[in-house]
Amino acid sequence: MSIQNMPLQLQPAIQQGFLEREFRDGLQSALAYRAVADREPVAINIGETVTKTRQGFKAPVTTPILPSGNTNLDNGLTATATAIEQYTLSINMFGDTTDLNVVTSQVGIANQFLLNAKVNGVQARQSLDRLARNALFAAYLGGNTRVRTTLGSPNVTISVDDIRGFQYVLVNGVYVAVSGSNTAQVQVGSNTYTLTGTAADGTNVSTAFGGISGTLTFSATVTVADGTALNTVAHPNAPVLIRPNGKWTGGSAFASTTSTAALTSSDTLSLAAIEDAVAQLRNNTGIIGPDFDWYGDNVSMRQLFADADFKQAFQGQYGSREWREGEVFKLAGVRFNPTTEAPVQTHPTNAALKVRRPIICTSGALVEGDFAGMEQKAAEMSGTNAMVDYVDDVVMVTRAPLDRLAQIVAQSWFWVGGFVAPSDATATTTVIPTAGAQYYKRAVVIEHC
């Protein structure tokens, strides 16, 4: 690595690789949601949006071939096709920079230089972690919302807290916008209506995490009784969303009877809710495990320790690692990963309560696309007026001073890529008899207070 263009004060800190080590330490510390993602390279010169295809499986054959039909060139067989579905991965560039004046920061200059590198690494890690989290929850919170404003009279359009999960329908393996020709059956209150369109509000007032407030339009008028504020609005293909004390949504067509607003102070996290989530994942993916990871905040973990079923499981085990260290590592087929990045929001109707959303995931729930051009650019820039390190699919650039006084060193990072949660709509009951109707099957959100 070329360092001849760097100030003499900094060369001792660089030549032993200290800078790269500090950056790497920052990226690898306390990873949470990004760890869920399967990483895939995005090739150069294919555009900013990439369409990928996930292939399903064919239904099992349980009917024998009749001897009388085993004739001709086809032996009595009819060719069948494999179902496919597509998802779109959009890539963007993210980054930040820090300037260091090697003259005005002469006191402890090497330490400050390394500290900046580590801070950049932590910032990059947190940035990518939040991008991963947002993409994951955008998919697995969609299709479950509530009426926001009571109708004054029957109307074909209602205002809802979150239109995510209602905007697209799957047609021949491709997601297309909801329209008069591509409709969906949606539960509003106690009845079912045919959805024909969605629209986002000009000013977003959603109370959901990452939500988009807007309107849903149907082919027939919605009654005032159904279009009353706080009534449930649910898509039949919405992901399972588990709440304590039986306040579930999703999982089967029109099973939803509650929304986030129904949560109360008694709806705390329980081992039963976690076991319900695991059962849903196993039924919908065919994965027996243990291959499930839980991500939630430390209050959720505290509530788990207070749960009666959890206490009974560890009754008398005062010497167990869980009780001694206050941390659950693995239980009921789930690996527990506490994180401070977990979504925590104020309750939509009770400001005194917080809504927490731990999520349980299995492999394939999230895909990270890393632009291959980053590594190529890093190789091209090495040996120029900048030092370039490619660490954990993130590029770190340390540029030598270019100002007239040769004093200001720029320490920067950038990442080009994106995250997407692929669907598994082709995993129907013909392939997995216990599977539900939901499009997204590889994660389950648990909402509690």
Q: If you average pLDDT over every residue of the chain, what do you get?
A: 82
**Nearest residue to 180 via CA among 149, 156, 205, 155:** 156
Res 1: pLDDT:
43
Average pLDDT over residues 33-57: 75
Looking at the structure, do residues 355 and 263 belong to the same domain, yes or no?
yes
Looking at the structure, do residues 148 and 43 belong to the same domain, yes or no?
no
Report which DSSP code applies to 368.
E
Average pLDDT over residues 165-192: 89
The tens digit of pLDDT for each residue in 184-229 reads 999 999 899 999 999 999 999 999 999 999 999 999 999 999 999 9
Report in angstroms the alpha-carbon separations of 15 from 26, 213, 385: 20, 53, 16
Domain ranges, residue 344:
30-58+83-94+239-376+421-449
Residue 253 in this model has a pLDDT that exceeds 50: no
Answer yes or no: is 388 within a domain.
no
**How many helices (H) and strands (E) in the chain?**
8, 24
Res 109: pLDDT:
47
Looking at the structure, do residues 263 and 194 belong to the same domain, yes or no?
no
Answer yes or no: is 261 within a domain.
yes
Res 147: pLDDT:
95
How many domains does the chain divide into?
A: 2
Which of 236, 265, 282 is where one domain is finished? 236
Which of 236, 258, 287 is where one domain is finished? 236
Looking at the structure, do residues 89 and 152 belong to the same domain, yes or no?
no
Res 172: pLDDT:
79
Distance of alpha carbon 50 from alpha carbon 45, whole angstroms: 11
Looking at the structure, do residues 183 and 308 belong to the same domain, yes or no?
no
The tens digit of pLDDT for each residue in 295-315 reads 999 899 889 888 888 877 766
Q: Are 131 and 416 within 8 A, CB to CB?
A: no
Which of 184, 219, 236 is where one domain is finished? 236
Looking at the structure, do residues 327 and 259 belong to the same domain, yes or no?
yes
Looking at the structure, do residues 216 and 187 belong to the same domain, yes or no?
yes
Residue 7 in this model has a pLDDT that exceeds 80: no
Report in angstroms the alpha-carbon separations of 369 from 23, 96, 170, 210: 21, 20, 23, 21
Looking at the structure, do residues 196 and 299 belong to the same domain, yes or no?
no
Distance of alpha carbon 348 from alpha carbon 371, whole angstroms: 39
Average pLDDT over residues 329-339: 83
Res 315: pLDDT:
65
Looking at the structure, do residues 226 and 286 belong to the same domain, yes or no?
no
Looking at the structure, do residues 202 and 257 belong to the same domain, yes or no?
no
Cis bond upstream, residue 290 (ω within 30)? yes
Looking at the structure, do residues 288 and 185 belong to the same domain, yes or no?
no
Residue 369 in this model has a pLDDT that exceeds 80: yes
Answer yes or no: is 403 within a domain.
no
Answer yes or no: is 100 within a domain.
no
Answer yes or no: is 108 within a domain.
no
Tokens 């200001």 identify what position? 408
Looking at the structure, do residues 162 and 279 belong to the same domain, yes or no?
no
Answer yes or no: is 308 within a domain.
yes
- Reported confidence tier of residue 8, pLDDT bands at 50, 70, 90: low
Q: Would you list the DSSP string of 304-363?
A: HHH-HHHHHHTTT-TTSHHHHHT---EETTEEEEE-TTS-EEE-SS-TT-EEE--EEE-T
Res 408: pLDDT:
87
Distance of alpha carbon 120 from alpha carbon 95, whole angstroms: 9
Identity of the amino acid at 412: S
